[in-house]
Amino acid sequence: MRIGASVLCIALLLAAACQREKRDIRPSPTNLAIYDDAAKQSTLRPGGPITPQPVVRNPYNSSGYDISEGQRLFQWYNCNGCHANGGGGIGPPLIKTEWIYGGEPANIFDTIVKGRPNGMPAWGGRIPEYQIWQIVTYVRSMNGQQPTSAMPVRADTIETNPQNIVNRVPGQTK
């Protein structure tokens, strides 16, 4: 009985590991997501109530590979030129809780695709859409909002308080 349970546990753990490493190695270069008003920052709208829009999901947020690809592209496309490594510089910081244009994946996608006033360029149609989604995944991971399955097994910094290690909940950085 006990052996059966432990085998089941190990199998489940292995299954979770599979998801973490799952990668879409041949992404489609065509545009799939909606470029129009799908990502709303507010329910306020002139001319009457808003018609319900389908929720836009990030198709590239399930694995550690997507985060690392997003991180690579963040540097390759010179996002860090303005945003530094998330701390901000010429551009606003990306590690924060208050987002001017919304912090949901669809909002960040929208911001990258359309650009924003005062310097954020529009990347829609310039780089493939799957790469924009990977960058979205990385930006959200900087705020500890990455999917649990893609969460690293340990923090990048050394933990000085042993109690924090004992009490640590996977998927939460603090």
Interface with other proteins, residue 27, by CB under 8 A: yes
Rounded least distance, CB 60 to other proteins, Å:
13
Closer CB to other proteins, residue 107 or residue 112?
112
Residue closer to other proteins by CB (options 33, 103) is 33
Q: Which stretch binds other proteins (CB under 8 A): 23-31, 52-60, 140-148, 163-171?
A: 23-31
76 interacts with other proteins by CB under 8 A: yes
76: Cβ–Cβ under 8 A, 6 or more apart, which residues? none
**Which is nearer to other proteins, 57 or 126 (by Cβ)?**
126
- Whether the CB-CB separation of 71 and 138 falls below 8 Å is answered with yes
CB of 76 to other proteins, least distance (A): 5
Answer whether 125's CB lies under 8 Å from 114's CB.
Answer: no
Place of tokens 């901000």: 88
Compute the distance between CA of residue 164 and CA of residue 171 in angstroms, rounded to an integer. 14
Whole-angstrom distance, CA of residue 163 vs CA of residue 173: 14
C-beta of 106 vs 132, nearer to other proteins: 132
Please, what is the minimum distance in Å from the beta carbon of residue 116 to other proteins? 19
CA distance 67 to 73: 10
CA distances from 130 to 34, 66, 98, 100 (A): 13, 10, 26, 24
- How far is residue 108's CA from residue 142's CA, in Å, rounded to a whole number? 13
In contact, 61 and 134? CB cutoff 8 Å: no
Is residue 124 part of the contact set for other proteins (CB under 8 A)?
Answer: no
Tokens of 52: 């319900």
Residue count, binding to other proteins (CB under 8 A): 15
Q: Would you give the binding string for other proteins spanning residues 132-171, x where CB under 8 A is met? A: ----------------------------------------
Stretch of 70-78, 85-93, 97-105, 153-161 lying at the interface with other proteins (CB under 8 A): 70-78
How many of the other CB atoms lie within 10 Å of CB of 9?
10
* Residues found near other proteins in the complex (CB under 8 A): 25-31, 72, 76-77, 126-128, 130-131
